[in-house]
């Protein structure tokens, strides 16, 4: 029995790292750390956060927002390494009115850190959040990461990219085409999915990379029936009909947000790699029995080509199932495959050629309402 208690909104915080130079310092001094806003300030609209990072003996700074002042729900905002002063514009309408705090951490080479806490109150009187960037938005000189952060409209995606350790990759030369889900798209995922992904960087990276296509694909380049291979390795397909454009089952709602190393298009749903798209109701069970959990393939089976994975999810007292592949049987490198809530039997078609030959395992988890779960492990060998 294990417990998963990740706060899903940490998934919702930043597409990537912001390249500013804004550090944290261990005390509330006048010339280091956060110098504006002042501790206890009341903020509204877009405000500037200014700080000074002293550098040595510190090697990095990390800036977080603590919603309600609660460290357990902290939201990553930015990180950097350069000493000096910098200013970050912060759109406070992306957060609820009320009391919050900044946590600015100076990290040492041994990963210990000193921390400065600056409290503040947001009072926007219910003002709406900033709109998503328009197609004319252009970030000359800013890479995809910085462009997404500066837009202020992708907090979940930005946090996910940081949690999956993809920031450096997406700040590379590229070019890249990123299909960025909206906040509503992440909110529409099955309950508990974000929690599971936040706790599994490998699984999270697998899904995020499915949203990135190498090269710079502008809206004018998309035609009906076009397919493209993603950085995840699977392909996406596009449809154009009646003036509407889709990538898989997601609508492309905003196009051509240009960056120095590619382009961003906004979509209204999170798209999933093919391995999970057929598994709308895959099953999980705590025990390897004949009537629940994975019933095919059998434990210890040798697989090749495309195979069917069949399982039965019993439902109550469980509220959700999560299916993972453990490459080499190693839980630390698990890859999320599918999640669902419906009881019953379902079959997932799995292309084993996407995994290396050798010993692996399935992890099928039944999640309870309190986020505890029971787990079934089924081992298998791929021989292609």
Predicted TM-score of the model (pTM):
0.41
Please write the tens of the pLDDT for every residue from 296-317.
888 888 888 888 888 888 887 8
Q: How far apart are CA 250 and CA 246, in angstroms?
A: 5
358 Cβ contact partners less than 8 Å away, ≥ 6 residues apart: 328, 381, 382
Residue 120: pLDDT over 90: yes
Please write the tens of the pLDDT for every residue from 257-268.
888 888 888 888
Q: Of all residues in the chain, what percent carry a pLDDT higher than 90?
A: 7
Please write the tens of the pLDDT for every residue from 18-63.
223 333 333 333 478 898 999 999 999 888 888 888 888 887 777 7
Q: Which of 91, 96, 197 is nearest to 154 (CA)?
A: 91
Measure the CA angle with vertex 182, ends 176 and 185; round to 5°: 115
Domains of the chain by range and CATH?
Answer: 7-122 (2.60.40.10), 144-272 (2.30.180.10), 277-382 (2.60.40.10)
Q: Which of 140, 276, 253 is nearest to 196 (CA)?
A: 276
Residue 14: pLDDT over 70: no
307 within 8 A of 384, measured Cβ to Cβ = no
Q: How far apart are CA 211 and CA 200, in angstroms?
A: 17
């Amino acid at each position: 029995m294990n417990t998963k208690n990740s706060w899903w909104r940490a998934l919702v915080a930043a597409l990537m790292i912001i390249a500013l130079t804004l550090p944290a310092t261990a005390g509330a001094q006048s010339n280091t750390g956060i110098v504006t806003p002042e501790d206890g300030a009341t903020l509204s609209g877009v405000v500037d956060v200014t700080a000074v990072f002293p550098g040595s003996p510190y090697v990095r700074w990390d800036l977080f927002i603590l919603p309600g002042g609660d460290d357990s729900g902290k939201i990553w905002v930015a990180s950097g390494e350069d000493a000096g002063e910098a200013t970050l514009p912060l759109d406070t309408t992306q957060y609820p009115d009320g009391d919050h705090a900044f946590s600015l951490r100076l990290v040492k080479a041994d990963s210990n850190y000193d921390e400065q806490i600056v409290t503040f109150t947001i009072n926007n009187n219910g003002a709406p959040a900033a709109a998503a960037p328009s197609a004319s938005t252009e970030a000359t000189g800013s890479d995809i990461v910085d462009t997404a952060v500066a837009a202020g409209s992708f907090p979940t995606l930005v946090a996910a990219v940081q949690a999956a350790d993809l920031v450096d990759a997406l700040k590379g030369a590229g070019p890249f085409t990123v299909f960025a889900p909206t906040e509503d798209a992440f909110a529409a995922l099955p309950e508990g999915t974000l929690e599971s992904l936040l706790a599994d960087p490998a699984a999270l990276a697998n899904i995020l990379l499915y949203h990135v296509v190498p090269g710079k694909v502008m809206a004018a380049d998309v035609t009906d029936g076009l397919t493209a291979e993603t950085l995840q390795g699977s392909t996406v397909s596009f449809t154009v009909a009646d003036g509407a454009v889709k990538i898989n089952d997601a609508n492309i709602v905003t196009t051509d947000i240009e960056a120095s190393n590619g382009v961003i298009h906004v979509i209204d749903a999170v798209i999933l790699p093919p391995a999970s798209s057929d598994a709308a109701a895959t099953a999980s069970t705590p025990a390897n029995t004949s009537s629940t959990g994975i019933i095919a393939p059998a434990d210890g089976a040798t697989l090749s080509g495309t195979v069917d994975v069949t399982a039965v999810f019993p439902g109550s007292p469980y509220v959700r199932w999560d299916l993972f592949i453990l490459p080499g049987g190693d839980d630390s490198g698990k890859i999320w495959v599918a999640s669902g809530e419906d009881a019953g039997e379902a079959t997932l078609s799995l292309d084993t050629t996407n995994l290396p030959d050798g010993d692996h395992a399935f992890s099928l988890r039944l999640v309870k309402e309190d986020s505890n779960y029971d787990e079934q492990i089924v081992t298998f060998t791929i021989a292609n």
